[in-house]
Copies of this chain bind each other. A is one copy, B any other.
Amino acid sequence: VREETRRRVLKAAAELDFTPNMVARSLAKARSNTVGLIVHDISDPYFAEIARGLEDAANQNRYQAFVCSSDRQVDRELAYVRSLISYRVDGIVLAGGAIEDRAYQTTLRKLLTEFEAQGRAVVQLAPQVYRSPGVVTDNRGGARAMTSYLVSLGHRSIAFVSGPPHIRTSKARFQGYRDALTAAGIGVDQSLVENGWFTVDGGAKAVSALLERRPDITAVFAANDVMAFGALHELATRAVEVPGSISVAGFDDIRMAAYLHTPLTTVRVPTYEMGREGMAIMLEVLAGRRPRLRKVPTEVVERASTGPPRGAR
């Protein structure tokens, strides 16, 4: 381009304060520079942190991100996927764990296969049944490590507050709990397990139910941090000492976890980084490469909410 022409064009653009129209560009290029992020609930700190990571990476690459909260409902999830496809997003990031539902899975696979066939990208940030690149945490391993840690502290009656039963992540974390108990020669007792729906309130209620049923428990392992919050609150309400009387552990290491009155022992999941990484992987796919699904290791973060069982030593 000749220098003078260049100058003239730029000047004219400035005078008419020309604003490029991404819609027209998207239509012409068949690329929209947008991503869709499907989460279970953007107001859940875990997903909010992932969203922030994804957004930062997207923004740095001149992408805009749509955020979609499905509340783990299959119809809403599919409606969002369809909508994102209509909007011709370049990629879809599945941040929540797979929902176990046959019909849903079939439809989802069909939609996403077709989507990818058009040169677009699907990235997962939690175990999905649909095969796609992404980065997922070792849910089972993390839960196993945490349970083993509690066992090593001397606990034998460890309650488990689980996530919703139809979510794959819930199942994996429960399996890790079972693995460790089995390995320690302690069986899994169903009366020690209660669903907390991955919510604060659910966590509080679950602990309440568990205490009624099994007053002998010395530790509570909540399958995510928000439920652990609820659990801690319920215990505080009942004036049960933590960790003196009951130890509490969580999973995810959301930012607030370190700032609780009794800082929470938990399994670290690098949420923000996963979000960033998710976008990076998407760009790779769009560039024609074929990154693999990566599994990031988890790590037990010991804080003040856990200790030996009461009566011990």
Chain A positions within 8 Å of B, measured between CB atoms, are: 17, 19-24, 26-27, 32, 34, 41-45, 48-49, 51-52, 55-56, 59, 62, 64-69, 80, 82-88, 114, 200, 204, 229-230, 232-233, 236, 255-256, 258-263, 272
Contact = CB atoms under 8 A, between A and B. Distances in A.
B45 A49 contact: no
A115 B170 CA distance: 46
- Classify the interface of chain A: helix, strand, loop or mixed: helix
B66 A52 contact: no
Nearest to A118: B19
5 contacts: A17-B114, A43-B48, A229-B256, A232-B261, A233-B258
Nearest to A31: B23
B21 A23 contact: no
Contact of A86 (B17, B21, B236): B21
Contact of A23 (B43, B87, B256): B87
Contacts of A69: 52, 55-56
B233 A88 contact: no
Contact of A88 (B21, B82, B84): B21
Contact of A67 (B23, B67, B82, B236): B67
A105 B62 CA distance: 24
A64 B236 CA distance: 41
A44 B27 CA distance: 35
Would you list the 7 A-B pairs with minimal beta carbon distance, nearest first? A261-B261, A43-B52, A48-B48, A233-B259, A22-B86, A43-B48, A22-B87
